[in-house]
Structure 1
Amino acid sequence: MAKRDYYDVLGVAKGADAAAIKKAYRQKAKELHPDRNSDNPNAEAQFKEANEAYEVLKDENKKAAYDRYGHAAFENGMGGGGGPRGGQGDFGSAFSDVFDDLFGDFMGGGRGGGGRRSTAQRGNDLRYNLRINLEDAFAGMQKTITVPTAVGCGACNGTGAEGGSEPQTCPTCSGMGKVRAQQGFFTVERTCPTCSGMGQIIKDPCNTCHGQGRVEKEKSLSVNIPAGVETGTRIRLAGEGEAGMRGGPTGDLYIFIEVQDHALFERESTNLYCRVPVSIATAALGGEIEVPTIDGGRSRVKVPEGSQSGRQMRLRGKGMPALRGGNTGDMFIELAVETPVKLTSRQREILKEFDQLSEENNPQGSSFFDSVKSFWDSMKG
């Protein structure tokens, strides 16, 4: 099959200048790259054809020979400079000319287009888990914490170099932090093994930080814990994280709050719940009980006559404050009618007598057993 005209392959007019040829090739390479055309079985052959055309037309001498003799210019050694080997062209040379333009966004820049890699790297963010009790969550507090972290080295001012010397450009990657290697049809980019991707090397590292620009140290911080925090609340302290590498910006510190369980109160959002035991006599006759509140105070609550276990009473405004302002929650008192234990003989006599006299005073029991009788009767039917 006869070869197509190289100008037709790239879609440019004869006599097009180098800029137009390169632009056309870039467009073709994008359209025909096999990785982007897995469903097109002809893509690889068309891609190679475009590379072969560009390999000839990008070179002034080869282009002049091709304009004069056509494809015959590269047959039997004609045209000088040895045209496309085996009719395929120097794929690596042609493709690498526009590699950066095509994939620079994905590979981190390219020759002549990305600039040198900065050695400064932002420090890591740190996490600190802080446990507080419910009383502190109610009132808010100032808490001093000690955080192990990395801080900028004072001996070298964070540069990592001894005596004020400057880092030098890495000779392996020329400051890019990455190196490229040709593997068949493709150019592979890897982190530079000499500078570990930093782009620079330190000939005379600081004796204190060994070239890192930072040292391990504990620091104390005063943290404001606002009233109303709950488990999972996150507090951010900007710039209090790990120091950056070689003068890079400092990371942030995130404090995660965990509010411990309380012996008396259970929390649900801004509301508090307190389960209070009451005697049978108080529940039956009614009366008053004294209950604690989260602020350390006391409140008297009236127990209605005939109260049952599980009955709740509300104390408005005695709960937790909302974290970001607004109303304060409520406190709910839940009654737990307590059955007495270890009865004396006299108490047993009184309770037996009371039980005989109170058959009509147990509405829930009467209702339940009436329902049980109806159930059994229906089963017999």
Structure 2
Amino acid sequence: MSKRDYYEVLGVARNAGDDELKKAYRRCAMKHHPDRNPGDAAAEAAFKECKEAYEVLSDAGRRRMYDQHGHAAFEHGMGGNGGGFGHADMGDIFGDIFGNIFGGGMGGGRGPRRGADIGYVMELSLEEAVGGIEKTIEVPTLDACDSCDGSGSADGKLETCSTCQGRGQVRFQRGIFSMQQACPHCGGRGQTIANPCGDCHGQGRIEDTKTLQVKIPAGVDNGDRIRLSGEGEAGPSGSPPGDLYVDVRVREHDIFKREGDDLHCEVPIRISQAALGDTIRVPTLDGEVELRIPAETQTGKLFRLRDKGVKSVRSRRPGDLYCEVVVETPVNLTAQQRELLEQFEGTFVGEGARKHSPRSSTFLDGVKGVWDRMKSS
């Protein structure tokens, strides 16, 4: 039976461009693919026919010969192949069109993969995080083997991989789509080791502990991450190493609590200081500073000390320090102190006492209002 015209097979005009040919082949292949037409001999024949047509028309040289001589161009030795298509990988044609549907296949990139990234958690005090510090760390990792310089080969000799035939990729069929991925035997290198290194057993890597100096910039916060490029695990067979990620964890401080670039702390004062006012000294990360407490200060009063917080690692602008006053009840009183307090308490009598305790008066008035409403209901 005579062959159909290749342009007719794909349903395109004779001046069709490459993109049009690909779209036509995709439609034809999806329609007649054996996986979609199990047991249908006619569909299988049509599928082979459209593959053959696309192989010729997608190649500029063979398309030119076909346009001049038709099917005869590939018969009786014309075209240098005796009319066959054995020199071409039909899977490659199919994969070129459909592979990009899944992002170019599954792991289709050629070449060995880089080494794995590793993580390290570094605990810092608040002072270390705010001021910056350089620390020495030890990280268990896979390092390049010194005996074979990370190649995995004792003598440097390599062989062509028998699984992928040196291509570094293997192709397989999934439904109607042709997929490709890095060769599992050679890891995408296309070559295997003829004489493995005795120290690393051909892996190119050995377990080791790496000692590193890590510089922590001033102003880092809990959860920040520092990347050290190329300090991760060595890649297999001499491929590039991964990275080391240092995750910062800041321990809780005895006095200060950090919120962004601001610091917060509680400042206890005596009842006499709160009532009469005073100037006290409060701690900061730069040393003590004076804080003036005005008379009649109530517990919970917030005082702001500008630029006494943390200098941000990003903006480099310092935050503020917020001091919350807590009026402390005296304990372990002496007889004299107790007597003086009793005398002082004795002065709060009658209606005149209300003006000395505004919050208590407001509270008592509120309670009285609740009782009155309950009685009238």
TM-score category of the 2 structures, normalised to the smaller one:
0.7 to 0.9
Tell whether the 8 Å contact from 1:117 to 1:175 is kept in structure 2 after alignment: no
Tell whether the 8 Å contact from 1:314 to 1:330 is kept in structure 2 after alignment: yes
In structure 2, the CA distance between the partners of 1:56 and 1:222, relative to structure 1 (3 Å rule), is closer
Listed as ranges, the matches of 1:64-83 within 5 Å are: none
User: 1:94 & 1:243 partners in 2: Cα distance?
Assistant: 36
Which of these residues, 199, 208, 213, is aligned with residue 190 of structure 2? 199
CA deviation digits over 1:360-379, x for unaligned, max 9?
A: 31111112211222232233
Q: Is 1:222 aligned to residue 213 of structure 2?
A: yes
In structure 2, the CA distance between the partners of 1:147 and 1:210, relative to structure 1 (3 Å rule), is same
Which of these residues, 131, 143, 152, is aligned with residue 135 of structure 2? 143
Listed as ranges, the matches of 1:1-381 within 5 Å are: 8-11=8-11, 26-34=22-30, 48=44, 50-54=46-50, 96=91, 98-105=93-100, 106=102, 117-118=110-111, 120-163=112-155, 165-180=156-171, 192=183, 194-195=185-186, 197-295=188-286, 297-358=287-348, 359-360=353-354, 361-381=356-376
User: 1:317 & 1:107 partners in 2: Cα distance?
Assistant: 51
User: 1:56 & 1:155 partners in 2: Cα distance?
Assistant: 52
Structure 1 alignment gaps of length 5 or more:
65-80, 82-92
Tell whether the 8 Å contact from 2:168 to 2:182 is kept in structure 1 after alignment: yes
2:62 corresponds in structure 1 to none
Tell whether the 8 Å contact from 1:10 to 1:21 is kept in structure 2 after alignment: no
Structure 2 alignment gaps of length 5 or more:
57-65, 73-82
CA root-mean-square deviation: 4.0
Tell whether the 8 Å contact from 1:107 to 1:189 is kept in structure 2 after alignment: no
Question: Once the 2 structures are TM-superposed, how far is the Cα of residue 35 of structure 1 from its aligned partner?
Answer: 9.2
Give the residue type in structure 1 aligned to 2:195: D
Question: Once the 2 structures are TM-superposed, how far is the Cα of residue 135 of structure 1 from its aligned partner?
Answer: 0.9
In structure 2, the CA distance between the partners of 1:244 and 1:20, relative to structure 1 (3 Å rule), is same
Give the residue type in structure 2 aligned to 1:335: V
Give the residue type in structure 2 aligned to 1:275: E
TM-score by length of 2: 0.75
Question: Once the 2 structures are TM-superposed, how far is the Cα of residue 347 of structure 1 from its aligned partner?
Answer: 3.9
In structure 2, the CA distance between the partners of 1:194 and 1:130, relative to structure 1 (3 Å rule), is closer
2:61 corresponds in structure 1 to none
CA deviation digits over 1:211-263, x for unaligned, max 9?
A: 12222222222222111111111111122222121121122211111111100
TM-score by length of 1: 0.74
User: 1:150 & 1:320 partners in 2: Cα distance?
Assistant: 38
- Alignment partner of 1:246: what SS? helix
- Alignment partner of 2:212: what SS? strand
Tell whether the 8 Å contact from 2:10 to 2:25 is kept in structure 1 after alignment: no
Question: Once the 2 structures are TM-superposed, how far is the Cα of residue 275 of structure 1 from its aligned partner?
Answer: 0.6
In structure 2, the CA distance between the partners of 1:232 and 1:187, relative to structure 1 (3 Å rule), is closer
Question: Once the 2 structures are TM-superposed, how far is the Cα of residue 25 of structure 1 from its aligned partner?
Answer: 6.9
- Alignment partner of 1:292: what SS? strand
Question: Once the 2 structures are TM-superposed, how far is the Cα of residue 194 of structure 1 from its aligned partner?
Answer: 4.0
- Alignment partner of 1:352: what SS? helix
In structure 2, the CA distance between the partners of 1:249 and 1:274, relative to structure 1 (3 Å rule), is same
In structure 2, the CA distance between the partners of 1:160 and 1:346, relative to structure 1 (3 Å rule), is same
Tell whether the 8 Å contact from 1:54 to 1:94 is kept in structure 2 after alignment: no
User: 1:185 & 1:326 partners in 2: Cα distance?
Assistant: 57
CA deviation digits over 1:261-311, x for unaligned, max 9?
A: 10011111121112111111111122222221112x212222211111111
Question: Once the 2 structures are TM-superposed, how far is the Cα of residue 12 of structure 1 from its aligned partner?
Answer: 5.2
Question: Across the two proteins, how many residue pairs are aligned to each other?
Answer: 336
User: 2:207 & 2:154 partners in 1: Cα distance?
Assistant: 18
User: 1:279 & 1:191 partners in 2: Cα distance?
Assistant: 73
- Alignment partner of 2:264: what SS? strand
Give the residue type in structure 2 aligned to 1:254: Y
CA deviation digits over 1:111-168, x for unaligned, max 9?
A: xxx9x943x43112221111110111222111111222222222212211112x2321
Tell whether the 8 Å contact from 1:32 to 1:46 is kept in structure 2 after alignment: no
Tell whether the 8 Å contact from 2:98 to 2:177 is kept in structure 1 after alignment: no
Q: Percent identity between the aligned chains?
A: 44
User: 1:33 & 1:202 partners in 2: Cα distance?
Assistant: 40
CA deviation digits over 1:10-48, x for unaligned, max 9?
A: 2257xx7xx9899987433412554999xx99xx99965
